[in-house]
Amino acid sequence: MPKWGLSMTEGTVVQWLVEEGAELNNGDEVVEVESEKINNAVETPSPGVLRRRVAKEGDVLPVGGLLGVIADASVTDEEIDAYVEEFQATFVPEEEEAGGPEPQTVEIGGRNIQYLAVGEGEGTPLVLLHGFGGDINIWVFNQEALAEGGRTVYAVDLPGHGGSTKDVGEGDLASLVNVVAGFMDEMGVEKAHLFGHSMGGAVAASFAIGHPERVRSLSLIASAGLGEEINGEYIEGFIAANRRKEMKSTLGLLFANPDLVNRQLVNDVIRFKRLDGVDEALRRLADNLFPDGKQADVPDLSGVEVPMLVVWGREDRILPVSHSENAPQNARVEVLDETGHMPQMEAAGQTNRIIGEFLDSQEG
């Protein structure tokens, strides 16, 4: 059972995706697990044959618990039995690490901004910027994985979102860019890799245009700012939804498979929506950034010379995948099949590999 996010302690087995005896390659999806945010598929860590499905559908396992056994076909059933028996007899769930990373706040221009820092090392820091209605938790499947490259990874709650101030200022791209610049100043980060999702992608792109000397590379995932079209009904639906049924239907638009949305994710978003000042903040941002169901700002990236990666889900229902074709010619573009607007969650393993390899290539 993987650990998806700092607070995850257990997961529920939803369904097995392959039968015993199946030949597996690195990265094959094997079993669907319900985590705190969405249902996601566990990928095989190594090639081999799925010899035993140990956990049953509906089982709740602690992080590190045994889901199944992958082994070479030459390994006997008796050896598999002995391995499972020894594992189950000796396995002790890990206790939560005391003093692990916790969200912190920093004051920027008189406003409190929440962030979560994970990892350390000599590598260029990475700054993660979420989309409209998101927060630091959309990176639950990514932040630790991307920190393994020997760098500090900062996830930032933009104004109006998460645990940050609900004062969004002018509510335009320029004001959000200023917050990112102020955050980097406060963290002592002179230069960073920027990774922006949806609205956060437009913020990251605008930052790269205004502060090219502070950007090592630019990664845009299902990004706003590469065309005028946007699903205005989603924006308005998210602002209006204050009941679980409405919110579940709205959040389902983010994924190629709406069934991935679980109760915990819906409850978390509803709880956020009921905070004082959230509706007003989202309304101002939407009116400035997405008036009349169109994107108001399409930053001109043609003059941006930093290395650029664009990742998109082919089944994105919020921002059309055709916008990926508007990326500059020097950008690397990856389109993921059977994936919607949230590749970093819906196809976390593949997205982490693409982003990680791209970042590592810039550190050479």
- Rounded CA-CA distance 275/338 in Å is 34
pLDDT digits (tens, 9 = 90+) for 20-47: 999 998 878 899 888 766 777 888 888 8
pLDDT above 50: residue 98: no
Q: Are 113 and 167 in contact (CB under 8 A)?
A: no
Level-2 CATH architecture, domain 10-90: Beta Barrel (2.40)
Q: With cut-offs at 50, 70 and 90, classify the pLDDT of residue 99.
A: very low
pLDDT digits (tens, 9 = 90+) for 273-298: 999 999 999 999 999 999 999 999 88
Q: Are 16 and 33 in contact (CB under 8 A)?
A: no
User: Which amino acid, residue 106?
Assistant: V
Level-2 CATH architecture, domain 104-362: 3-Layer(aba) Sandwich (3.40)
Q: Where are the domains of the chain?
A: 10-90, 104-362
Predicted model pTM? 0.85
* H helix runs in the chain, sequence order: 77-90, 143-147, 173-187, 199-210, 232-240, 244-252, 263-273, 278-289, 343-346, 348-362
Q: Which helix (H) or strand (E) holds 107?
A: strand 104-108
Q: Would you give the DSSP letter of residue 124?
A: P
- Rounded CA-CA distance 251/234 in Å is 9
- Burial of residue 222 (number of CB atoms within 10 Å: 0-12, 13-18, 19+): buried
Q: Can you give the length of the chain in residues?
A: 364
